[in-house]
Structure 1
Amino acid sequence: MAEAILTEVKKLVEPILSERKLILEDLEYVKEGKDNFLRIYIDKVGGVDLTECSIVSERLSEKLDEQDPIEGTYFLEVSSPGAEKPLKTPEDFKANIDQNIYVSLYVHIDGEKEYEGILKDFSNNVATIDYKFKHRIKQVQIPYDKIAQARLAVML
């Protein structure tokens, strides 16, 4: 059921985003406690601000009221994926070369299940990351299918 809802919402939100030159980063329809949430994550080069999120929220809310693809009550949230946005697809990795990322793995690679470092390359479904080990820079190659989660990581 959630997939059907997300498919319909995507059809409604994409023209709004296209007109405003925004990117749909992610959609989710989830139940948390007693409440349902429809979350839309948007972005653009240089990032989005609260005004942009508000405009998209208002316009999408009107479309959702007209089409009514979701039974019952829910909360609509439109936001930026944030500074530590998730990397969910190979395209996300390719778009974030030379960025600091964090990955957790399904299996150990070189004795570790977590890495944080600079994404140097993503080709043939393998992420190459330069990371600090003690006082040296080391490199690890991680097959995409071994990555449980990945996100951009803010460097402190």
Structure 2
Amino acid sequence: MNIEKRVVELVEEKIAEIERPDLFLVSAKLHSNGKLIILVDGDNGIGIAECVQISRYVGFRLEEEDVIKTPYNLEVSSPGIDTPLTLTRQYTKNIGRDLAIKMADGSKREGNLTAITEDAVMIEEKIKEKGKKAELVESVIPIEQITETKVLISFK
């Protein structure tokens, strides 16, 4: 049995049971150090109560089914602010926020996320040409050219 696949099924069962259709699984990974890390998010955020419910349900079912034969630690949380965006749904949730984007060619882009489609991200970025005043430009970035996207935090 694929452990991570079973964990995904269990998380999705619990999300359906607690009737929060805005919640979604970001990732489930069993690390070699025995840590099973489940990241869950919500279009309207996720609270500790939901994380606890998911953790208890998944932990109980994994024990009951004896899915993992070695000792492990189960950790259920929302992705931290420094966790890269991976799902379209995460981008959608962050429309209006500033992003730092690493491109496949090694370059970096920064701008305010204005829209997301299945295959592209739209940002408004400041472009400064030598000798000219910086101007805001709407840029369309194909998702396949992005290697990592993180939300920029402003403390202004």
TM-score by length of 2: 0.79
Q: Which runs of 4+ in 1 moved over 6 A?
A: none
- Is the CA contact (8 Å cut-off) linking 2:122 and 2:141 kept in structure 1? yes
More off after superposition, 84-93 vs 4-13:
84-93
Secondary structure of the 1:107 match is coil
C-alpha RMSD of the superposition: 2.3
Instruction: Please give the alpha-carbon distance, in whole angstroms, between the structure 2 residues aligned to 1:89 and 1:152.
Output: 13
Residue 154 of structure 1 corresponds to which residue in structure 2?
A: 153
Offset from partner CA, 1:82-129 (integer Å, 9 cap, x none): 334532134443454333222111115xxxx11222112233622221
TM-score by length of 1: 0.79
Query: Which aligned pairs between 1:1-156 and structure 2 lie closer than 5 A?
Result: 4-20=2-18, 21=20, 22-31=23-32, 35-107=33-105, 113-123=107-117, 125-133=119-127, 135-156=134-155
- The number of aligned residues is 147
- Is the CA contact (8 Å cut-off) linking 1:9 and 1:69 kept in structure 2? no
Task: List alignment gaps of at least 5 residues for structure 2.
Answer: 129-133
Instruction: Please give the alpha-carbon distance, in whole angstroms, between the structure 1 residues aligned to 2:122 and 2:86.
Output: 16
Greater per-residue strand proportion: 1
Letter in 2 for 1:78: V
Task: List alignment gaps of at least 5 residues for structure 1.
Answer: none
Secondary structure of the 2:79 match is coil
